[in-house]
Chains A and B, each alone.
Chain A
Amino acid sequence: MVSESTETAAVRIENLRFAYGEKQVLHDVTMDIPARQVTAFIGPSGCGKSTLIRCINRINDRIPSARVTQGSILVHGIDIHRPDIHLQELRRRVGMVFQKYNPFAKSIYENVVYGLRIAGVKKKSDLDAAAENALRSAALWDEVKDRLHTSAFGLSGGQQQRLCIARVIATEPDIVLMDEPCAALDPLATLKIEELITSLKEKFTIVIVTHNMSQATRCSDRTAFMYLGNLVEYGPTMQIFEKPREKQTEAYITGSFG
């Protein structure tokens, strides 16, 4: 049964330690990520923020040497490392958008309905409805509705990234992880994605990793600052940027290092 206390936290991370082979990359990270909010992770390159969010849907399992050495992650109260976890279901519930937009070499339509197809949805009308819905939510529908069955590679970079977001939300996940979704995009496309994020938080819990501090201020509710694998500071975005408690945080956001 799900306990009362975890009801508000979509993800609870407890004493998480994580290593690639011998190299420890996360040290005792503990935090709660609230539901229906945007949580941003900031920090210099290699601080472990991407690794941390890649732990939440266990996509790090793909890397042979990667392993959680201690601690746990609870998604809605369920420990995702318990042996009887339904990994595919977890990943369907916890969607992910990657740094480099990565649509499949398929048509736009097939990209969007991919998640549904592998979940076993076969009815054409269901797929069509879901595809339209997802593309509308991703603010892409008007741009692609006439060429749904052309290759996804014909789209611009920003469009491709929004397609990837549409692909994720088509499966109606609960949590959407975004690993620097704008890193490969130009400012205009970045703006669109940011608008999208703001509109999506009505329905989804969003976790975003970003290098861009102004992006964090623009679209996140809470911000976590990480440094060398430690969670240095975590709190409401306004507080982190205006009144950071830690010296390191302050140094980072004022641009003294990083």
Chain B
Amino acid sequence: MPDDANRNVPKSHRFRKQGFSFERLIRYFFASNAGLTIVILVLIIVFLLKEGLGFFPGYRRELETYRIAGLEFVDISRKNLTAHEQLVSLLNRAYYAEINGRSYQQLRRSEEAAALFNAYTDQTGPTKELILNSTQEGQEAQPAMLAVLRENYEKQRAKALANLPATPHLSAKEREEIISALRTRTPQATDDPALVTRLAEELASTQARHAEPLQAFRATIDSFESASADLGSAIMEMTESVTSTKEALQNADILEKDRRTLLAAANNVDDPAEREKLLAEAKAALAEKPDTETPMASLMERKPDCIRLHEELAKSSAAILPQLPKSLAQGEADRLLRTAKKAWPVFLSDLSAAPAKISSWTHTTPVPLSAAVVSFLTGRDWITGGEWQDFYGILPLATGSLMIALVALTIAIPVGIGSAIYVNQFASPREQAIVKPVIEFIQAIPSVVLGFIGILVFGTVLRELSVMDSLQWVPGFPIEERLNIFTAGCLLALMSIPTIFSLAEDALNNVPSAYAEASEALGASGIQTTFRVIIPAAFSGILAAVLLGLGRVIGETMVVLLVAGNRIKIPDFSAGFGVFFQPSHTLTGIIAQELGEVPLGSVHYRALFVVGILLFVVVLGINATAHRFVNRATK
């Protein structure tokens, strides 16, 4: 307002604001509350960074210790030893898969018979113990009590017999034989029912029979297994020496930290006497730098030895490869064998590269900060709280998160968008009145409840399905773990379907009805209108719905924590689609699982915050992209 115009208006004029403005105060109050959102966002960023950024220097220091103490040197050899162990285990698994595959019928029959018997003993076991106790120690057994116990025993027997598991591989007669054996079984009986024993023997003999032609394979595996014995013991010896060096270094670090705290405290104290005392304490705490050179020198002396052992192992491993069987008859066994063979050249080239690595390794190479960053972002190991060395590599976690998201979206996108299209375009008002509240209700289910359902219901159902004979063609069946990527993905799909549904439905709803009208007036059918006009027009909105669904899936914690199986390992991709039935861990899950147990301020604690920062950035990136699409759609 120009001041000139107001000059003539007297100060006390009614139109002039009078003194202290209550209105303005209220306005500022509301504005500051709106500003609170900015404050919270800034606080989140600042505190994530504050706790997280210290991770990289700390991790760098740990990696430096890892090098100076010589752990890294030992790990060069150990890596090859582990690879060797893995190959051995692959071959062993192939061997047993072959035998078990060939004796599949006998195996299942024996297992099912045993399951019947176990169901019985599980139920009656405790009472059986009581009966045995009371008949054994007291010759003057109390008959009244014994009668009660026997009655209980009968009750439990009846209960057990009523709830026996299914036995699809046993004939009705065989099942009846076992059941009748159980029906007459006394508490004192110690032998297994005859048929159970017979089936177990049958299995053993079948297995032995099938092992016969595989003897050469067995021998090859054994000789391969023993080829690394010398390298193994050399590594064991080196491990001891480097571990003690590492401990000394860590202790020195702790003392140094104490000294700094004391010095800082001394600076804050005004009283000179007190200060002197603290300074003296600090001086006393000044640790001698631990001697790393002497153990290192002796470690370096082992270099030629290590190189020789590697060369020997390489030679014998190369000789083993041609001795392996060309192929195996059972699918799973053959897959394992092929995996092992595929890994063989890599193993051999690692072995032949090792001597050069060993001889060129020195503990004086500095560890730059970037090494910590690279190791975090591309590390294949997330190992914490171990005695050897902690690694914070997020690859296994990120892979888990991504694969679970992949499964979830593969299910949720078609279902969510398909039902949105149906409800928006084709459903009658009555159908809408049923479907929409149901989906809204699914959205309201807390994620922890979904996780619970996943553990107790869905995982079990999946496992039962996976052992059915008619489903054995599915890759990865029968599953080893009932909690795995697939289970988690399915539940997350259920969680993201409402998000995708409601946003996609909004997007479809926002398409002007004039489009549909014009299209139908041109002779298009309902489906043609929907797929040629409505969906293209709503496309960016639907894409945004999918992206927001993805953001929700990646950021979800409780379901994956409960249901993903929590194995911190990059899944084995050689299993083909079976990889989706392996357990895994996730970025969100690791924070929830470990934050409660780590010491405040430790490198591990900070690592979890860096994972949080990563999640924050990724999810916000996804959401920002989604909102760009939404804005484009509404323009």
Picked from A91, A100, A119, A167, the residue with its CB within 8 Å of the CB of B514 is A100
Task: List 10 tightest A-B contacts by C-beta distance, closest first.
Answer: A92-B523, A102-B514, A96-B521, A115-B522, A91-B523, A88-B523, A118-B524, A118-B528, A102-B518, A105-B537
Q: In the complex, A171 Cα to B522 Cα: how many Å?
A: 8
Within 8 A of A (CB), among B503-548: 512, 514-525, 528, 532-533, 536-537
**Structural contact, B523 and A89, CB atoms closer than 8 A:** yes
Question: Across the interface, which residues of A come within 8 angstroms of B537, CB to CB?
Answer: 104-105
Q: Which residue, of B516, B517, B523, B524, has the highest number of chain A Cβ atoms within 10 A? A: B523
Q: In the complex, A114 Cα to B523 Cα: how many Å?
A: 10
* Size of interface on B: residues with Cβ below 8 Å to A: 19
**Structural contact, B523 and A115, CB atoms closer than 8 A:** yes
Q: In the complex, A105 Cα to B519 Cα: how many Å?
A: 12
**Structural contact, A105 and B536, CB atoms closer than 8 A:** yes
**Structural contact, B515 and A88, CB atoms closer than 8 A:** no
Question: Across the interface, which residues of B come within 8 angstroms of A89, CB to CB?
Answer: 523
Q: Which residue of B lies closest to A119 (CB)?
A: B523
- Residue B429 at the chain A interface, CB threshold 8 Å: yes
Question: Across the interface, which residues of B come within 8 angstroms of A64, CB to CB?
Answer: 429
- Residue A57 at the chain B interface, CB threshold 8 Å: yes
- Residue A197 at the chain B interface, CB threshold 8 Å: no
Q: Which residue of B lies closest to A114 (CB)?
A: B522
Nearest-Cβ distance from residue B597 to partner chain A, whole angstroms = 54
Q: Which residue of B lies closest to A170 (CB)?
A: B522
Within 8 A of B (CB), among A79-116: 88-92, 95-96, 98, 100, 102-106, 114-115
Q: Which residue of A lies closest to B539 (CB)?
A: A105
Picked from B512, B515, B517, B522, the residue with its CB within 8 Å of the CB of A167 is B522
Question: Across the interface, which residues of B come within 8 angstroms of A59, CB to CB?
Answer: 517, 520-521
Question: Across the interface, which residues of A come within 8 angstroms of B522, CB to CB?
Answer: 91-92, 95, 114-115, 118, 167-168, 171
Report A's interface with B, CB cutoff 8 A.
57, 59, 62, 64, 88-92, 95-96, 98, 100, 102-106, 114-115, 117-119, 164, 167-168, 171
Nearest-Cβ distance from residue A256 to partner chain B, whole angstroms = 34
Q: Which residue, of B517, B518, B520, B525, has the highest number of chain A Cβ atoms within 10 A? A: B518
15 A-B contact pairs sorted by A residue (CB < 8 Å): A89-B523, A95-B521, A95-B522, A98-B517, A98-B521, A102-B517, A102-B518, A104-B515, A114-B519, A114-B524, A114-B533, A118-B519, A118-B524, A118-B528, A171-B522
Question: Across the interface, which residues of A come within 8 angstroms of B536, CB to CB?
Answer: 104-106
Q: In the complex, A182 Cα to B506 Cα: how many Å?
A: 31
Question: Across the interface, which residues of A come within 8 angstroms of B532, CB to CB?
Answer: 114, 117-118
Picked from A95, A102, A119, the residue with its CB within 8 Å of the CB of B512 is A102
Q: Which residue, of A64, A98, A103, A118, has the highest number of chain B Cβ atoms within 10 A? A: A118
Question: Across the interface, which residues of A come within 8 angstroms of B521, CB to CB?
Answer: 57, 59, 91, 95-96, 98, 168
Question: Across the interface, which residues of B come within 8 angstroms of A119, CB to CB?
Answer: 523
Nearest-Cβ distance from residue A104 to partner chain B, whole angstroms = 6
Question: Across the interface, which residues of A come within 8 angstroms of B517, CB to CB?
Answer: 59, 62, 98, 102
Question: Across the interface, which residues of B come within 8 angstroms of A98, CB to CB?
Answer: 514, 517-518, 521
Beyond A91-B521, A118-B519, 20 additional pairs, beta carbon < 8 A = A57-B521, A64-B429, A88-B525, A89-B523, A92-B522, A95-B521, A95-B522, A98-B521, A100-B514, A102-B518, A104-B515, A104-B533, A105-B536, A105-B537, A118-B525, A118-B528, A118-B532, A167-B518, A168-B521, A171-B523
Question: Across the interface, which residues of B come within 8 angstroms of A103, CB to CB?
Answer: 518
Nearest-Cβ distance from residue B266 to partner chain A, whole angstroms = 73
Nearest-Cβ distance from residue A153 to partner chain B, whole angstroms = 11
**Structural contact, A91 and B520, CB atoms closer than 8 A:** yes
Question: Across the interface, which residues of A come within 8 angstroms of B533, CB to CB?
Answer: 104, 114
Q: Which residue of A lies closest to B533 (CB)?
A: A104
Nearest-Cβ distance from residue B428 to partner chain A, whole angstroms = 9
Q: Which residue of B lies closest to A97 (CB)?
A: B521
Q: Which residue of B lies closest to A164 (CB)?
A: B518
Question: Across the interface, which residues of B come within 8 angstroms of A92, CB to CB?
Answer: 522-523
Question: Across the interface, which residues of A come within 8 angstroms of B519, CB to CB?
Answer: 104, 114, 118
Q: In the complex, A168 Cα to B523 Cα: how many Å?
A: 10
Question: Across the interface, which residues of A come within 8 angstroms of B514, CB to CB?
Answer: 98, 100, 102
Contact with A along B209-236 (1 / 0, CB 8 A): 0000000000000000000000000000
Q: In the complex, A77 Cα to B625 Cα: how many Å?
A: 56
Contact with A along B462-483 (1 / 0, CB 8 A): 0000000000000000000000
Q: In the complex, A165 Cα to B366 Cα: how many Å?
A: 76
Nearest-Cβ distance from residue A210 to partner chain B, whole angstroms = 18
Q: In the complex, A90 Cα to B533 Cα: how many Å?
A: 20
Question: Across the interface, which residues of B come within 8 angstroms of A115, CB to CB?
Answer: 522-524
Nearest-Cβ distance from residue B514 to partner chain A, whole angstroms = 4
Q: In the complex, A204 Cα to B429 Cα: how many Å?
A: 39
**Structural contact, A62 and B520, CB atoms closer than 8 A:** yes
Q: In the complex, A54 Cα to B445 Cα: how many Å?
A: 46
Question: Across the interface, which residues of A come within 8 angstroms of B518, CB to CB?
Answer: 98, 102-104, 164, 167
Nearest-Cβ distance from residue B270 to partner chain A, whole angstroms = 76
Question: Across the interface, which residues of B come within 8 angstroms of A96, CB to CB?
Answer: 521
Q: Which residue of B lies closest to A101 (CB)?
A: B514
